[in-house]
Structure 1
Amino acid sequence: MKRIIVAITGASGAVYGIRALELLRKMDDVETHAIVTSSGQRTIAHETDYTPGEVRSLADHHHNPRDIGAAVSSGSFVTTGMLVAPCSVKTLSGIANSYNDELVVRAADVCLKERRRVVLMLRETPLHAGHIELMARATNNGAIIMPPVPAFYTLPRSLDDVVDQTVARALELLDVVMPGIQRWDGTSVVPDDG
């Protein structure tokens, strides 16, 4: 059983974290642990038709973002890794600087110190030098920076197609391969039947 932590922070793009939880829910061999920050709850309410409670219920377990003593705050609680989708600059800064004042950053810091993968779907544009320095610092600490950039070679027909492909690629960085992901073969897109 793989344990994946999915954090939703206050940046625009809550749909990425929600869709990750929906896709992971279909996997028999994955246990999910959700952390939704207060800013993430606000973004969910503004950008989607979900309530924060409905989003939390998509996970096998959810943790209070202020509970620094939650299971996911300890390295002895084994996880495959963590997806922060979307990742705000505030969260990026906390992770880059190991500023563990809340559970999202603490859980990411624990994953990094245990050499587990942490994928940050940073949602910010344009970027200034401080953002770039934070991304470099987080990368040097072991995080993977994956801005949710659409793959237009898949010829998406809807926003859902874009979100699904992007989330599937992010989950793949955590060794969770989603069936149906479209792959480039050098000349055309080929669906992966898993």
Structure 2
Amino acid sequence: MMATQRKALSDAEWEALVPHWFKHLSDFRATRTARAAIEQGNHLLRVKASLPHGEWLNHLANVPGLPTKTAQRLMAVARRFSGAPDAFLDAVGSVSKLIELLTLDDAELLMRGEAVNGLTLECIEHMTVTELRVAKRDAQARDRAECRPVRQANLVRLSVEEERMLRLFRKCTKPAKAALFRVAEQLARS
């Protein structure tokens, strides 16, 4: 499958686009609300989509005061939370909290108002970013701790020869694996 090629912008087209882009992003550091971050992230995604492949970083370097990492975070926020309901955005409030929630696996559940690892929208609304970060890490640690005993209970130590045989078995085709299972069943019966 061939990737579609984007038409390179002419100098005149780019010159017409740049002032709007700079004007739109000039106050990105003043962005404090989650809604503004999503709006700016969507704008960055549109500009990136309009550029030919490989030109994004060059043009991003021309934006004074907008680090690449910040642009990447704003675009990630827009991709993940652009369809978020107002109740979620009101509860989160700040860009910093929204960026902190990017790494939360079940953020979609939070957007629907459900609790995730003990975090609710009501709790998040009253937390600082630091408190949210600590609560998220604690919840993830509890989740890992709950899963750990199950994993250790199923842990089986194999000898070097058994590990080699297991690697060989994994490389087998389905019919070969089925045949090996039949042989193993016959050996177990005898």
Instruction: Please indicate the TM-score interval, normalised by the length of the shorter structure.
Output: under 0.3
Q: Greater RCO between the two (CA within 8 Å, min separation 6)?
A: 1
Task: Kindly indicate which of the two structures has a greater share of residues assigned to strand.
Answer: 1
Q: TM-score, normalised by structure 2?
A: 0.25
Q: TM-score, normalised by structure 1?
A: 0.24
